[in-house]
Amino acid sequence: MFDRIREDIRSVKERDPAARSTLEVLLCYPGLWAVWHHRLAQALWQAKMRLLARMLSQMSRFVTGIEIHPGARIGRRLFIDHGAGVVIGETAIVGNDVTLYQGVTLGGTGKEHGKRHPTLCDGVFVGNNANLLGNICIGENSRVGAGSVVLADVPPNSTVVGVPAHIVYRDGQRVLITDPREIKDPLSDALIALALRVDQVERLCGRAAQPVEPFAAEEAERSAYREQLERLRDYVSMGEGI
């Protein structure tokens, strides 16, 4: 037990430059307290003392602002930085060396039974206020951007952002999205439908729509005025020879 405690403290000091001493980590890191409370609550949960386990988790939530269901399976060296508002559901699985920031939710999407919460593999990083919902899997060493809503599996070594989240980096390479359908956004569907409609109109007209030049009407007026001045110049004396 003491080896695990020392390991947890060491992982915090390695990942947070603001951690200056062991005493500071022990006194000022509620994420660490929440993990330790969860280990005791999970032991009670596995011993079929479910009500007592839930009561302990709620006490921990009151003290730390972090809610971890006693049924969740948490790996080693979980670092919850700041931590306020973090929620980890009953069937969630969190691997080793995972980092969660404040406001992260590992939640479900309905009232179904069985595995209904996310699985985070080793080395996953989740930014603040991200929502990971449903029985999905986040691959090893992947990163979830702040404020993202993840509804589908994420491959290993990837970075996802957005609502809903889509991959922007994979294996260190930038991922360029050429098909809006890959984003799975209702607005993308509307843009696709509009583009298809424009293409149909162009085909019916038999030609591509010509781009509209800015200030075309003003330029036409200036050209007409110049032509008029050019015609008048042959008949109007400008006072030459006076």
By residue count, the chain amounts to 242
pLDDT at 185 over 70: no
Structure tokens at 50: 């479910």
Q: What distance lies between CA 3 and its chain's CA centroid? A: 34
Q: 6: which DSSP letter?
A: H
If asked whether residues 158 and 71 sit together in one domain, one would say: yes
If asked whether residues 170 and 199 sit together in one domain, one would say: no
If asked whether residues 54 and 16 sit together in one domain, one would say: yes
Domain carrying residue 70: 2-174
Structure tokens at 67: 């809610």
If asked whether residues 8 and 94 sit together in one domain, one would say: yes
Residue 181, domain member (yes or no): no
51-108 pLDDT, tens per residue?
A: 999 999 999 999 999 999 999 999 999 999 988 999 999 999 999 999 999 999 999 8
pLDDT at 58: 93
pTM given for the model = 0.72
If asked whether residues 120 and 211 sit together in one domain, one would say: no
If asked whether residues 200 and 170 sit together in one domain, one would say: no
Confidence of residue 187 (pLDDT cuts 50, 70, 90): low
| Best CA proximity match to 94, nearest among 41, 33, 38 | 38
| Contact status, residue 70 vs residue 56, Cβ threshold 8 Å | yes
If asked whether residues 56 and 164 sit together in one domain, one would say: yes
Final residue belonging to a domain, choices 174, 196, 219: 174
pLDDT at 242: 44
If asked whether residues 199 and 167 sit together in one domain, one would say: no
99-137 pLDDT, tens per residue?
A: 999 999 999 887 778 899 999 999 999 999 999 999 999
Structure tokens at 186: 């209702």
Exposed (0-12), middle (13-18) or buried (19+): which is 221, by Cβ within 10 Å? exposed
If asked whether residues 117 and 212 sit together in one domain, one would say: no
Q: In what order do the strands lie in the sheet with 119-120?
A: 73-74, 93-94, 119-120, 137-138
Residue 153, domain member (yes or no): yes
| Domain CATH code at residue 107 | 2.160.10.10
Residue 52, domain member (yes or no): yes
pLDDT at 232: 67
SS3 23: helix
pLDDT at 222: 76
Neighbours of 59 (CB within 10 A): 12
pLDDT at 138 over 60: yes
If asked whether residues 120 and 220 sit together in one domain, one would say: no
Q: Look at the chain and report how many structural domains it folds into.
A: 2
If asked whether residues 152 and 223 sit together in one domain, one would say: no
If asked whether residues 122 and 213 sit together in one domain, one would say: no
Instruction: Concatenate the DSSP letters of all residues of 17-31 into one string.
Output: TT---HHHHHHH-HH
The Cα 204–Cα 28 span in angstroms is 69
